[in-house]
Amino acid sequence: MDKFKQYYGIDISKDVFDVVDQAGKHNQYENNLKGYKLFVSSLNEKVCVVTEATGVYHVQLADFLHGKSIFVSVVNPLVIKRFIKMNLRRIKTDKASFCNSKK
């Protein structure tokens, strides 16, 4: 039995954060408390959220998710880049690389 039922990848910037689930569905939210609450309201139980460590932009969202007892993993972008290269992916966008790495 899987520990998580749903997985989400997040690419975060100063103003917005983009979310892609394992089925490739994409949503975008404001990078503020209103956006965090809207994102959390769309989640089911037993989810895993993965985001890149992007300066300071990921910190508030990761802290918010952790406070809501949602499993969040902050990953070094270099690890993600090397993982993509290891799988011989030649895709330049974050959204595409997350979706294709699940196939």
Element (H, E) at 96: helix 94-101
User: Does the predicted model carry a pTM greater than 0.95?
Assistant: no
Structure tokens at 78: 């270099």
Q: How confident is the model at residue 64 (pLDDT cuts 50, 70, 90)?
A: very high
Which residue segments constitute the domains of the chain, with CATH numbers given?
A: 6-101 (3.30.420)
Beta-bridged to residue 57, according to DSSP, are: none
Tokens 């993965």: give the residue: 50
Q: How confident is the model at residue 84 (pLDDT cuts 50, 70, 90)?
A: low
Q: Where are the alpha helices (DSSP H) in the chain?
A: 33-41, 57-67, 77-86, 94-101
Comparing 86 with 98, which gets the higher pLDDT?
86
Identify the band that residue 26 occupies on the pLDDT scale cut at 50, 70 and 90. Answer: very high
Query: Three-state SS for 11?
Result: strand
